[in-house]
């Protein structure tokens, strides 16, 4: 297993001070260091940024159930 990554593919390395680090395969982009003090906060903010607009869209315009 790659150092810093757990079995689910999340990056945890308290010795690494970077908040955002390259993925195991750098061609695939970047990931969050969840051991960084702001890592979990950034992950929650990113999930909320994806979920909240979808939730609002369904509340404003619910699917027609006829």
Q: pTM of the full predicted structure?
A: 0.71
20-45 core/surface letters (b: 16 or more CB in 10 A; e: else)? ebeeeeeeeeebbbbbbeebeeeeee
* 44 confidence band (pLDDT: 50, 70, 90): very high
Structure confidence by residue, pLDDT tens digits, 10-43? 899 999 999 999 988 889 999 999 999 999 999 9
d(CA 20, CA 14): 13
pLDDT at 66 over 60: no
């Amino acid at each position: 297993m790659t150092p810093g990554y757990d079995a689910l593919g999340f990056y945890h390395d308290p010795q690494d001070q970077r908040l955002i680090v390259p993925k195991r395969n750098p061609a695939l982009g970047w990931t969050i260091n969840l051991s960084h003090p702001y890592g979990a906060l950034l992950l929650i903010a990113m999930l909320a940024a994806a979920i909240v607009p979808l939730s609002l869209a369904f509340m404003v315009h619910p699917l027609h159930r006829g």
